[in-house]
Structure formats: structure tokens, C-alpha cells
Copies of this chain bind each other. A is one copy, B any other.
Amino acid sequence: MKRSFVIAIVIFVMSPFAVGQATPTTAGKQPVLQTLPERLGYSPDAKLLIVHADDLGMAHSVNAASIKAFETGLVSSGSIMVPCPWLPEIAAYARKFPEADLGLHLTLTSEWNLFRWGPVLSKDRVPSLLTRDGYLQPTETEAASRADAREAEAEIRAQIERAKALGIQPTHLDSHMGTLYQNEALFRVFLRVSRENKLPLRISKDWLGRAPFISSNLTPDDIVIDRILEIGPSVRPESWAAFYTEAIKSIGPGVTEVIVHLAYDDEEMRAATLDHPDWGASWRQRDFDFFTSAAFRRLLQENNIKLITWRELGRLMKKL
């Protein structure tokens, strides 16, 4: 997820919603209010954190940094962009480490200037998703306003199929640059595909108020985590570690996801993100540096925060 969509959620906000969630039970019984940690087998006040790397498959630099971060044990999850050229590299990793918590970062945009990709489906079948030059749209706004929802649905289903054909067993779904949260038609597609595949999608209680269609389309069976934390362009590079440190110290009980963008500040990444310092190469290097640091490991320990994965959340859907 990137850019304007995210700016609105940059500031870490404690959820204004009750942390209790209706848990479906057998028919006829009243739902029992249980917190998400309880449903996962933890104490109700457990502080559970998913550290999630977005954009896998986009570039070699992203894959290499994310894999390195997984190896530290400090980044617990990630999601893959199926239309991107480096998909085969991360698919090879997924086949080698089937226990890795890898979801799909469903992709309807191709946002960089010098480095671009098209859809998984045949271009003739998804004309509304494409620019004149045959690539996916550059922004989430253009993608959402122009997309025929049926074409978007066909494309994201094709992305899931392609991932599975390459041996990826996705544990969750999210939406690159938040395109699938931009309007109700796309969000309904996203929910339908999530439910049919019994794969949780990225949604948190602090997002419920963003648009009326978000909460109105959710049911108690959908997994809604407690909060999402993400840094934004308003944080100066020298304040990176301080921002994350404060945010992590403030994490309350429940399930929190921190969305990070990992890559190395190398030639490939600098060229890929040219003229776009936000979510650019040095931004991603800073994320990598913080989330693989001994300081971050200590923060987790000192604040009694336990890392979890989307796979655990997905099991709740599979039980339904």
C-alpha cells in the first residue's frame, strides 16, 4: 500500500472501537464476545504484532531485503505482487520455505516511471485496468475510477491462480496502494474473493470509519484486526527510529499490524523509484534497518509484544 491512501492512516491511532468481536457459534446460540487474542488462544490482553513486508516480487532488491528480514525472525509476514517481473524469485523462496507467512499483495497499479508491469490476464480481457501503453494504471485513484469491477475481479482471481500454480500457498490478501478499498464495488469484489478463498484480508478497526461501505459490507465472520501502523512521508528520515519506537511502545492489547516496505538503497531500487522519495530506496533501507535491528528486538521484549502471522488469523476463517 502506498501514497495518498496511506497518508490518512499514518498516524497511529488507538482504535475507537471496542476490542470485543462477535464470534460466530453454532446456529441459534447468541454470539460470544471474545477478543481476537482469545480466539487465537492468547490471553485477552495479549499484545500481538504482525510485522508485514509489502511489495515482494516487485524488484530483486525488495525480495533480497525482505528474505533477509524474515531470516532475522523480526519480520513475520509479507505479501507478493504477482504481476511483477521478480515473482519467480519470491515463488522459489515460497516453495523452499512453505512455512513462511506469505500472502498476495493484489496489484492493479504499476506506479513507477521507468520500470513497469502489466496484468496477469490477457490484456484484451481487462482493458479497463490498463493505460494506453498496456501497463496497469499508475495510481490507485485512476485504477479504481476506471476499473470495471468484473475485470478487476477476474484479474485478482488470476493473480491468486498464478501464485498457486507457482507453488505459493497464500495465507492472506491485501491490496497494493489500497486500490481495492477505494470504492464499494471494488471492496465487495475483494471481500468476495477473500471469503471464497478463506483467506483473511487486511482490515483493521481503525479503518472501519473511513468509508461507510467498509463496515456495512463486513460480517462478524470477517477477520478485523485491531489496528494498523504505518509510517508516512511526514516523518523525517532522522526521526524514523523514534517514530517506530514510540509507536511500538504505544501498542495496546489485540492484534496490530505494522506495514513496512523493505529493500536496499541500491542502484536497482534507486532507479525503480526515481523521482519518488516517498516509499523510495532510502525509505525502504531505513525500514529494513529499523526492523532488523537489535533495538527493535529489545523493544518487542521490553513491551511484551509477541509476533504472530496471518496464517494464525486465517485459521479462524477456516474453522467457520
CA distance A282 to B166 in the complex (A): 29
Residues of B within 8 A of A61 (CB): 267-268
> What is the CA–CA distance of A263 and B122 in the complex, to the nearest angstrom?
31
| A156: min CB distance to chain B, Å | 15
Q: A85-B85, A134-B162 are in contact. Are A64 and B118 (CB under 8 A)?
A: no
A187 at the interface (CB under 8 A from B): no
Report copies per complex: 2
* Contact yes or no, A165 B133, CB < 8 A: yes
Contacts of A271 in B (CB 8 A): 60, 63-64, 86, 89
Q: How many residues of A contact B (CB 8 A)?
A: 36
Q: Are B115 and A86 touching (Cβ within 8 A)? A: yes
Interfacial chain B residues near A89, Cβ < 8 Å? 114-115, 271
A268 touches B60 (CB 8 A): yes
Q: Is A247 an interface residue (CB 8 A)?
A: no
- Indicate whether A116 sits within 8 Å of B133 (C-beta atoms), given known contacts A125-B124, A267-B61, A268-B61: no
- Complex: chain B residue closest to A268, CB-CB: B268
Q: Could you list 18 further interchain pairs (A-B, Cβ under 8 angstroms) beyond the known A86-B115, A268-B268? A: A59-B268, A60-B271, A61-B267, A84-B85, A89-B115, A89-B271, A122-B122, A122-B123, A122-B124, A122-B125, A132-B165, A133-B162, A133-B165, A134-B162, A264-B267, A266-B266, A266-B267, A266-B268
Q: Which residues of A contact B (CB under 8 A)?
A: 59-61, 63-64, 84-89, 92, 113-118, 120-125, 132-134, 162, 165-166, 264, 266-268, 271-272
For the complex of A and B, 7 pairs with smallest distance between CB atoms: A89-B114, A122-B123, A122-B124, A268-B268, A60-B271, A85-B85, A122-B122
